[in-house]
Structure 1
Amino acid sequence: MATQESETLPDAYDDLLSRYERATYIGDAAGVLSWDQEVVMPEGGTPARSKQTSALSGARHDVLTSDAFAAALEEAEAADLPDRETAVVREIRREYDRAAKVPKELVERISEETSNALPVWKEAKAEDDWSHFAPKVETLLDLKRQYAEHIDPDADPYEVLFADYEPWLDLEQAEAILEQLRDELVPLIDELNDAGADLAAPFDGTYPEDDQFALAESTLDYLGYPDDHGRLDTAPHPFSSGTQFDARVTTRFDESDPVGAIGSTVHEFGHATYTLGLPREEYGNPLGQNRGLSVHESQSRLWENHVGRSREFYDGYVGIVNEELGTDVSAREAYEAANQLYPDNLIRVEADELTYHMHIILRFEIERDLLSGELAVEDVPQVWNEKMEEYLGVTPDTDGVGCLQDIHWAHGSFGYFPTYSLGSVMAAQLFEAAEDDIDGLHDDIAAGDFDALHEWLTENVHRHGRRYRTNELVREATGEDFSADAFVEYANAKFSDLYGL
């Protein structure tokens, strides 16, 4: 789909856009196959699926690195383009430069190996056996080191891989934010634990998965998720994927913890609402694509934490919870249950809002050392457990609830984890700006009216696609430079009030 102004632009720009859109469509087709593999594909389908995804990765790489693509890109760059189209060319140039440096054979090999690694990760997790998965991790680390070396042989491999997920933030800036979170949150968590507030924990029964699935469906309806552009399924590791026409979500259930499923569902809704908010008329080009995983995560964490874990949310929502689960919980009790601190929790996706970041820092440090060769793959369980004890005061009993709990390394997604904390920080800054701009926002949330917030996020974040770099987008939306200050202030105020400090 060409931009609306294409008739006034140079032919080379239109040619470039047409070629780039074709690459996008191939990548999106591969995304549907990936969704299918994680959600509904029979277990025996992996050998064929790995070949299919490898072929699509190779085809996309061919389109992006062809001589005709390069020629159209150079000619478009030489033209006098408006700011909007200049941003499109900037984004395509960055993607082309990285793709052109990596051999097609390596791209295909990485795709095939990640597809093959997924069922092995599932088996290893079920068997609590890191050694079963370790050879796949060794292979993927080696392939990703090769990939990083092709792109920039002089750079830190982790920095190169991090830029796949967050292209416009320096790793140095990301590390500074992680350090600030560690410095600010650890004493706050210690103070809250010492306070020992007796928050409500009303969900102490067993809640069948069918009831929780019905609650997840009702939750999505309540938030405004469109049935004609998405669907809800379950997956071992919840995720969202798709386009502005088809953004699907998954969640998972623990029969003893319905609050966890609520958080997971709202989180993935946040991802989907960003995807669905991207301009449809720009589908296929950078203006119709998400800015990056830090921004994507800001949308999921904004909805999960600033909306879904707020007192106002439960004023309107608790009736749905009681109806679907057969409970009789007050809004205040549900709010407290959603904001319990669990410093001894082992699972990242079940972590509370504060200790969550210790889980991220742990993973960041481990995968950085894996890539540098300072940490051997076989030693991951030991180092993981040591860091869990150091940062959270708890040691996993098994690999399944320890170093095997996340799917990311099966995808070869080394460098991904920092974006979770970066997104949480960004979410606080964006929500603070939305509070300033939207009169009665908290009253709207209490009434179950999310239209104004949807519109604000679409106007200030979603509709821009990749027009702005990450820091520029935050500045455009909030008027301030991207920093962790809003998150730290929010966390201190919210939890000091909850725990009576």
Structure 2
Amino acid sequence: MATAESELDSPYAELLDRRKRISNVQNAGMVLYWDQQTKMPEGGTPARAKQLGALQSIGHELLTDERTGELLEALEAEELDDEQAAVVREVRREYDRAVAIPNDLVERISETSSESQPAWREAKAEDEFETFAPYLDRLRDLHIELAEHVDPEEDPYVVMFEESEPYLPLSRVEEIFDELREGLIPLIEDVHENGADIADDAFAGTFDPEDQEVLCRDALDLLNYDWDRGRFDTAPHPFMSGTQFDARVTTRYHDHDFVDPLTATIHEFGHATYQLGLRDDAYGTPLGEPRSSGIHESQSRFWENHVGRTKEFWELFLPTVTERFPEFEDVTAEEAYEAANQVFTDNMIRVEADELTYHMHIILRSEIEQEFVAGDLDVDDIPARWNELMEEYLGIVPETDSEGCLQDIHWTSGFASFQNYTVGSVLAAQLWATIEEEIEDPEKLIREGNFTPIREWLTENIHEQGQKYTTDELIEEATGEPLTAEYFLDYVTEKYGDIYELD
């Protein structure tokens, strides 16, 4: 920390110690969640739900304890440096929100979330939305109840969004969505109607999951993933879980596609890089924790798209691909680049979508969530509404709910978080534009496999800042201007115009 605890007034030192204990309880729950998604036998769900619920309850009790409030009040009269003030600001925000929520509601939400996950997996596997629907309905009601406790005067959906992105107004995100609709829909149509033929089948084939795992590990090695502080596993839905001391990556495999598991792995590597770049000396405090979900997604989308989908990366990595899959020894780096960036005409799955259609997936989910939370859409009508918006935005209709409204696990954890994937993509492009100005020839660095300068820039400007700044402040500190969709739209227009030879 910037100032030794011995030099601090006792209320701050005590608050810091209390916050660290709360963080440790939360991080223990994170390890249990990781185990539930990767290793736990299916029959363990009833006990795991209770375990996670208990940890959530303990953390909530520590945070909302009367002593926490007394310490915060005492610190209002103290002279604090910038880092101390940031810690107090963040704990105050957490406290004010949590103290309004009954402890039993926190426990009920955690238990219902854990119980809903195997129901979602079964519903997806069996293509039976009705298996998951009762849990989804219950979760909606519980999260609305929570939002009404936090701020009974505000739209519950806005309150939900503020949980993961507290300093970026939902109204600003919706303005960005409007800009993306205006810019992306014509570009997607132009690609489909006028785009040149590209090597979209360059990597056609059938692939053993074990071979795909080896290739993904090769990519993690190439990107300098810290195996001493991480591991790599499979999960029904790719995710990263961890801290600056232990950031674990997962992916999933497909019989007929190794590119998607590869880019998903690089995506989760981006999340892990953020976690591992947080300050070790600030562990357990807001200064050693990620700023927000949107900022986190900017790191994963940065590494997935601005590194892993570049021509330079495929020039570097293609020899490794052909070593693992010799049948592709005649594929050129240009063809590999095109295959990794094809704009799909019929892609149903968000996590497998290209950089253009991806955001239509996000926008339709956000609209459905808002209608569902507002009570304008019954749970049983979600599949039909999903298909309706898929046809409107992407011109396709899923044949099953498994590849439609059941494809993502996210609703088992709550609502109003999908927006952050698009926030992350937009910010990633803005960060890349800044890096191009501040680092000499970053494309050359990627081609050479020298990722250190790029990672160090991100660590210095994003990771090590923790929660010192609010979201909007952090973006301006890093890039010199507020969040804007301009760089993303310029980036995809130039990139895909070049790939598809558009006028």
Q: TM-score scaled by structure 2?
A: 0.98
Within-5 A mapping of 1:445-464 = 445-464=446-465
1:346 is matched with 348
Partner of 2:401: 399
CA contact (8 A) 1:240 1:248 kept: yes
Structure 2 match to 1:82: 81
**Which residue of structure 2 lines up, in the alignment, with residue 165 of structure 1?**
164
Change in Cα spacing, 1:48 to 1:438, as seen in structure 2 (3 Å) is: same
Counterpart mapping for 1:381-400 below 5 A: 381-400=383-402
Tell me if structure 2 keeps the 8 A contact 1:3–1:282.
no
Asked if 1:490 is matched to 2:491, the reply is yes
How large is the Cα RMSD of the aligned pairs?
0.9
Deviations 1:103-148 (A, max 9, x none): 0000000000000000000000011011111000010001000000
* 8 Å contact kept, 1:246–1:276: yes
Distance 1:281 1:190 in 2: 50
Query: Residues 42-93 of structure 1: CA distance to partner in whole angstroms, max 9, x if unpaired?
Result: 0000010000000000000010000111111111222110111111111110
Distance 1:147 1:34 in 2: 22
In 2, Cα distance between equivalents of 1:162 and 1:62: 23
Does the alignment pair 1:50 with 2:52? no
Q: Which amino acid aligns with 2:12?
A: Y
Task: Report SS of the residue matched to 1:219.
Answer: helix
Tell me the percent identity: 52
Which amino acid in structure 1 is aligned with residue 207 of structure 2? Answer: Y
Offset at residue 343 of structure 1 (A): 3.1
* Offset from partner CA, 1:363-419 (integer Å, 9 cap, x none): 0000111100000000000000000011001101111000000001122x2011000
**Distance in 1 between the 2:15 and 2:412 partners?**
34
* Paired residues for 1:133-212 under 5 Å: 133-200=132-199, 201-212=201-212
Measure the CA separation in 2 of the matches of 1:77 and 1:311.
Answer: 53
Identify the residue that residue 102 of structure 2 maps to in structure 1.
Answer: 103
Q: Does 1:37 align with 2:39?
A: no
Return the alpha-carbon distance in structure 2 between the equivalents of residues 107 and 153 of structure 1: 17
Aligned counterpart, 1:262: 262
3-state SS of 1:250 partner? strand
Counterpart residue number, 2:284:
284
Task: Give the equivalent residue in structure 1 for 2:472.
Answer: 471
Opposite residue 16 of structure 1, the aligned amino acid is L
Would you say 1:225 and 2:219 are equivalent positions? no
User: Which whole-Å CA distance do the structure 1 matches of 2:172 and 2:251 have between them?
Assistant: 32
In the superposition, the TM-score normalised over structure 1's length comes to: 0.99
Number of residue-to-residue matches in the alignment: 499
Q: Which residue of 1 aligns with 2:339?
A: 337
CA distance in 1, matches of 2:126, 2:196: 38
Contact between 1:212 and 1:325, CA under 8 Å: does it hold in 2?
Answer: no
Corresponding residue of 2:315? 315
Name the counterpart of 1:298: 298
Q: Secondary structure at 1:249's aligned position in 2?
A: strand
Give the Cα–Cα distance (whole angstroms) in 2 for the partners of residues 198 and 39 of structure 1: 40
Secondary structure in structure 1 of the residue aligned to 2:136: helix
Q: Answer yes or no: is the 8 Å Cα contact 1:240–1:272 preserved in 2.
A: yes
Partner of 1:373 in structure 2? 375
Q: 1:355 aligns with which of 354, 357, 372?
A: 357
Letter aligned with residue 10 of structure 1: D
Q: Residue type matched to 1:490 in 2?
A: Y
Structure 1 residue 4: Cα displacement:
4.9
Structure 1 residue ranges, 4+ long, deviating more than 3 angstroms after superposition: none
For 1:13 and 1:319, how far apart are their aligned partners in 2?
Answer: 54
Matched residue type, 1:118: Q
**Which secondary structure state, in structure 1, belongs to the residue aligned with residue 76 of structure 2?**
helix
* 2:359 and 2:422 in contact (8 A); partners too: yes
317-326 or 135-144, which deviates more: 317-326
Could you tell me which amino acid in structure 2 is paired with residue 421 of structure 1? T
